Amino acid sequence: MTKPNGAPPGWYPDPLDRHRQRYWDGQRWTDHAQPAGVNPSPLDLRGSNDPVRTVPWWQTWWVIVPALLVCLPLGLIGLWKRPGLTKTLRWWTTGGAAALLALVTVLPAAASQDAAAPSSPRTSGSAQTVSPAPRSVPSPTPSSAPTPTPAPAPTPTPTPQPSSVLAAVPKVVGLTRPDARELLTRDGLKIGRVEKRPSSRAPGTVLRQNIKPGTRVKPHSEVTLVVARPFPRVPNVVGLDKTTAVHRIRSAGFRVDTSRQTTTSGADRVVLSQSPSGHARKRPGGTVHLVVSDLHVHAAPPVSKPPTRHHTCTTTSSGSCIQGGEFCPQADYGLAGYDADGRRYICTGDNTHPHWE
């Protein structure tokens, strides 16, 4: 932290403030300081080029001392931020201010207890033992020589600022939901509300988180996640009428595009095919194309009948035409003739049962 004895005079990093440079005259640190990064120039110790050392108003002793008496935390901030003070001086000043604050708090309470119990002996000597002797505070000056000193004894760690207990939100986008939960739990956080959205990513993959990675939040804070779920399936509407099919497709979250195909059989306005096919997964809002039947029935040509042939049949004795296989009258036995189709028959057989053959 200090330059060893024998270092040549010049500008060196300030051991008390890394943002400034301090002039080393070869034996000790001087009060001459300037911001770090300024091109150092030879210093005229006679005062012509003395750089002016300035500190913010809230780091001046005119502000630190009253603040230590009125509001200890604000005074400690200015004390520990003021450059040019050794750590020992800072701790002694902090301890003295804390002790003074304790006395101011305890003495009125003790006085009220003594007033409540007047019989208890109280001497001026006891009061003197309570009040500590004032301790002189060394002047804050960096003029002590930078001689090598043994390592200082461990000092109490200052109380961390509130920001040091905050947890940094990790990046969980792209992880599975179990991995995201494990990572958040390890950093002292937990998963809040989970929203599922259709995605082409693997189901359960984290698509978005509501808190930007690296943001520091309070422990046990909840991080809302959006995870992937599969695309919905397209309903199978082949064979349904057009009205029912369109309603089912739109109810599933898709748009419908139809075209007609002429058919000569089957039912009219029935879905013949669809693209994509039924039960296939598709992004919500996508279009499903349906092919619907358009039935056209053509009238059959008239069937031509063969011309009727008219033949003159042979009339039997009873006045009827000859009919093959029928019995013929006894009076027509041996008679030959033709039926209505022009076939020739003879009344034959025995005299008892004649017939046409």
Residue with tokens 């509300």: 193
Cα gap 275→259, rounded to integer Å = 12
pLDDT for 44 equals 47
pLDDT for 39 equals 66
pLDDT for 290 equals 96
Q: Classify domain 242-295 at the CATH class level.
A: alpha beta
> Selecting from 3.40.50.10470, 3.30.10.20, 3.30.565.60, 3.40.50.2300, what CATH number does the domain 163-229 have?
3.30.10.20
Cβ–Cβ < 8 Å for 130, 107? yes
Domain segments of the chain as ranges: 10-107, 163-229, 242-295, 310-357
Angle, helices 87-116 vs 61-70, to 10°: value is 30
Task: For residue 293, give the H/E element and its range.
Answer: strand 287-295
pLDDT for 307 equals 56
The tens place of each residue's pLDDT in the chain, 357 residues long, gives 455 566 788 888 888 887 888 888 888 888 888 888 766 655 544 443 444 456 677 677 778 778 777 777 777 777 777 776 777 887 888 888 888 878 877 777 666 666 655 544 444 444 344 445 445 444 444 444 455 555 555 655 555 444 458 999 999 999 999 999 999 999 999 999 999 999 999 999 999 999 999 999 999 999 999 999 999 999 999 999 999 999 999 999 999 999 999 998 888 999 999 999 999 999 999 999 999 999 887 666 666 665 555 457 887 877 778 777 787 877 777 788 887 777 888 887 776 678 778
Task: For residue 346, give the H/E element and its range.
Answer: strand 344-348
Same fold, 163-229 and 242-295: yes
pLDDT for 28 equals 85
pLDDT for 168 equals 93
Considering only CA atoms, give the Rg of the chain. 58
Q: Residues, the chain, total?
A: 357
Residue whose C-alpha is closest to residue 144's, from 85, 94, 95, 92: 85
